[in-house]
């Protein structure tokens, strides 16, 4: 099975495509531009605030819009009447055990749905975009390289079985520690849900039909997933995350 796929292949599911498209639309710079009229704004190149002329502002806004349009996916955004978000975590306190078990959990979900699980970042940013010297992340990035991920790969992944469990056990660390990387989402080719494994290790499932919601709830019950109301950090008393960096 080809594990690396294009973004177009990853987004064949209309629910998945609409979710990603809607998420990207929230960051459309035309809806809420930082710079409007000439005045004093923060200049990231100088790391200080300074006066910008209207000509400078127009050039900045044009550059920001060009980047947004280059990174977004050209998908049709459809509206769905039904929506419920479910949140779960696992009954494992050791973070290294947890990273492995969450992989097994998604492997079981794949089996229950009889479908590959597809993963994609919410923008066309390379998976290897961020550097990180925390050893679990180093190992995870090396794993991506071993399965064929290049420095400029922005596509998605398709997995099932043991390969899925292994992928997710590494993905856990990339999501948790690479703060500069876009969010990662998962679904299948046709089921009406979108999921994500957040930086705290919790599993979020966004369901778009009552049947899908019941399917996930039954799966969670059978596999002893713990339903939670709010997302929380279970591996640090202080709330900080070891190894979380923004090096690019």
Q: Each residue of 94-112: pLDDT tens digit?
A: 999 999 999 999 999 999 9
Q: What is the pLDDT of residue 1?
A: 55
In the beta sheet, which residues pair with residue 158? Answer: 118
Q: Is the pLDDT of residue 217 over 70?
A: yes
* Pairwise CA distance, residues 126 & 165, whole Å: 22
Residue 131 lies in a domain: yes
Total structural domains within the chain:
2
Q: How far is CA 223 from the centre of its chain?
A: 24
Shared domain for 94 and 201, answered yes or no, is yes
The domain of 92 spans 4-12+80-227
Shared domain for 63 and 90, answered yes or no, is no
pLDDT tier at 138, thresholds 50, 70, 90 = very high
Q: What is the pLDDT of residue 232?
A: 87
Give the pLDDT confidence of 38-91 residue by residue, as tens digits.
Answer: 999 999 899 999 999 999 999 999 999 999 999 999 999 999 999 999 999 999
Residue 158 lies in a domain: yes
Shared domain for 100 and 148, answered yes or no, is yes
Buried b (16+ CB within 10 A) or exposed e, 113-133: bebbbbbbbbbeeebbbbebe
Q: Which class for 109: exposed (0-12), middle (13-18), buried (19 or more C-beta within 10 A)?
A: buried
Count of alpha carbons within 13 Å of 113, Cβ hemisphere only? 29
- For the question of whether the overall pTM of this predicted structure is more than 0.95, the answer is no
Residue 234 lies in a domain: no
Q: Which DSSP category does 156 fall into?
A: E
Q: Which class for 214: exposed (0-12), middle (13-18), buried (19 or more C-beta within 10 A)?
A: exposed
Buried b (16+ CB within 10 A) or exposed e, 166-192: bbbbbbbbbbbbbeebbebbbbbeebb
pLDDT tier at 122, thresholds 50, 70, 90 = very high
One-character DSSP codes across 49-91: EEEE-HHHHHHHHHHHHHHHHHHS--------S--EEEEEE-S
Give the pLDDT confidence of 25-50 residue by residue, as tens digits.
Answer: 998 999 988 899 999 999 989 999 99
Shared domain for 64 and 182, answered yes or no, is no
176, 245 Cβ separation under 8 angstroms: no
- The pLDDT of 176-200, averaged and rounded, is 95
If we measure between CA atoms, which residue out of 84, 23, 83, 86 comes closest to residue 230? 86
């Amino acid at each position: 099975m080809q594990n690396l796929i294009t973004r177009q292949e990853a987004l064949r599911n209309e629910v998945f495509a609409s979710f990603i498209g809607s998420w990207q639309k929230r960051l459309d710079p035309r809806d809420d531009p930082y710079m409007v009229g000439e005045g004093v704004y923060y200049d990231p190149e100088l790391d200080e605030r300074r006066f910008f002329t209207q000509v400078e502002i127009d050039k900045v806004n044009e550059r920001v819009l060009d980047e947004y349009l280059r990174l977004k996916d050209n998908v049709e955004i459809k509206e769905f009447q039904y929506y419920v978000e479910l949140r779960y975590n696992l009954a494992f306190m050791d973070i290294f055990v947890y990273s492995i078990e969450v992989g097994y959990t998604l492997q079981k979900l794949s089996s229950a749905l009889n479908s590959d699980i597809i993963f994609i970042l919410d923008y066309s940013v390379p998976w290897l975009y961020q550097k990180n010297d925390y050893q679990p992340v180093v190992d995870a990035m090396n794993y991506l390289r071993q399965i064929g991920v290049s420095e400029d790969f922005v596509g998605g992944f398709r997995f099932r079985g043991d390969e899925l469990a292994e992928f997710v056990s590494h993905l856990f660390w990339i999501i948790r520690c690479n703060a500069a990387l876009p969010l990662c989402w998962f679904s299948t080719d046709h089921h009406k849900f979108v999921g994500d494994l957040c930086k705290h290790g919790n599993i979020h499932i966004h369901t778009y039909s009552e049947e899908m919601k019941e399917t996930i709830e039954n799966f969670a019950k059978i596999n002893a997933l713990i339903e939670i109301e709010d997302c929380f950090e279970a591996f640090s008393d202080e709330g900080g995350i070891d190894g979380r960096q923004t090096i690019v």
